Amino acid sequence: MSPRVLVTGGSGFIAGVLIRRLLAAGWQVHTTVRDPGREPALRRLLGADVGDAREQLRCFAADLTADAGWAEAAAGCSHLAHLASPLPVGVPRDASELIVPARDGALRALRAARDAGVRRVVMTSSVAAISYGHGPGEHRFTEDDWTRLETPGIPPYVQSKTVAERAARDWVAREGGGLEFCTVNPSVVLGPVASADYSASVVIVQSLLQGRIPALPRIGFGIVDVRDVAELHLDALTAPGMAGERFIACGGFLWLREIAAILRAELGEQARRVPTLQMPDWAVRLLARISPTVRVAASELGTVRHQDSSHAQDVLGWAPRAPRDAIVATARDLIGLGLVQA
């Protein structure tokens, strides 16, 4: 009998790639959606609206903020990939808007999994739970590190991912029974875009292409391709001995100015609006007084976070693409789908 897995947040950026990979490998897949009316569109997007794939995929209505639907979604599953988590484009006024659903949603999924007899859980966390609150400058992080929430000014999204992963690990240790639990901790996820329902991380490339960033602040990110993140999830679902594991998923760090240069070099005229000028630090700090989004950027000025993915490479044989490939794939699909204004 084919293994059966619950993938939460089926319309998500990473989840879509993972589900297509699981279906191709012959898995039976359950997935959750907040709005059951979106199931037909999701099936078309995932290629699961006709033939055998239609029988392989079942959709269940479940929300991170409510108990309804979780038991039904987990029933009969041997594996859980918990990917659903709030990821806003802007900065919320109240951090609890992100922290509460991220934490409580993870615990709802875990309880349902335990009660259904699930054996293996892979939860999507983030390098946000690893590499913040350590001060400015250049740092190198491994899976042994944790974000320091006691440091002032930690962004709400970073708080939510840290609190959710901590809460999940504590719950598994205390109440998980036989659950084998591990996390995948990606950096900024880019790569092929299938529809207008894409991750907030993709907005970085979209904003550069549309010229919404007039000049480039001195900030940077670790970048990883969504296809590689999905593959790492699949590896963690199937490899032996995953209990307690934590895997950073990062292809390398790039400054925003380097991302902009890649877009201009690879896309030519299509990248004509991508900025070339670097914004002075003083200007970023001045704008931060009136813009919450710029305030987050100001806190990142000059900081380099090297997120070391050698553990995933050593244990699982994971081999990430170069960040350049993910950036270009994102840009070409955004343009092809008409998601970048001409």
Q: Catalogue all structural domains in the chain, each as residue range(s) with its CATH number.
A: 4-336 (3.40.50.720)
Cα gap 101→85, rounded to integer Å: 7
Amino acid identity at 15:
A
Q: Tell me the DSSP string of 129-197.
A: GTSSSS-SSEEEE-TT----TTSTT--HHHHHHHHHHHHHHHHHHHH-TT-EEEEEEESEEES---SS-
Mean pLDDT of 147-160: 93
Tokens in use for 111? 């309880």
State yes or no: pLDDT of 341 exceeds 90: no
> Residue 81, SS3?
strand
State yes or no: pLDDT of 298 exceeds 90: no
Q: Is the distance from CB of 147 to CB of 131 less than 8 angstroms? A: yes
pLDDT tens digits for range 88-142: 656 667 889 899 999 999 999 999 999 999 999 999 999 999 999 998 899 999 9
Tokens in use for 284? 């970023």
Q: Report the mean per-residue pLDDT for the chain.
A: 93
pLDDT tens digits for range 176-204: 998 999 999 999 999 999 887 777 899 99
CA-CA-CA-CA torsion sign (117, 82, 182, 169): negative
